[in-house]
Amino acid sequence: MSKSVEFVVILDDGVRKRHRHETNGGKVTNFIVQLEIKMGEEWKVVIRYDCAHGFSHVDRYDKMGKQTKTRLDLHFESALTYGDWDINENWRHYRDAFLKGTENE
């Protein structure tokens, strides 16, 4: 049986975490968890963990939308858990680096 879970967590004024995952038989089949910052009227992605290309990876973005992709050697379940934890623990650092235009690592 397939199940989908989606929610948004407000972390600060103009800062949110978007989380979505799908499971089938208790196994994660699709996921995305990302940190977003509101710039003007637009929400911009700062860092995103997902499996959009059939493998788990993390995408980091700068203010201009330039993307850096890093493959994660993790099963979908572990990558989802790690991404959710990482954003919860480090969102302030990611926000500040993004806004300053410094490397988002």
pLDDT in tens, 23-42: 999 899 999 999 999 999 99
The verdict on residue 105 lying in a domain is no
pLDDT in tens, 55-70: 999 999 998 889 999 9
Record the tokens describing residue 61, joined without a space.
Answer: 């973005």
Whole domain around residue 79: which residue ranges? Answer: 2-100
Total domains in the fold of the chain: 1
Q: Does pTM top 0.85 for this prediction?
A: yes
The verdict on residue 59 lying in a domain is yes
- Rounded distance between C-alpha atoms, residue 49 and residue 94, angstroms: 13
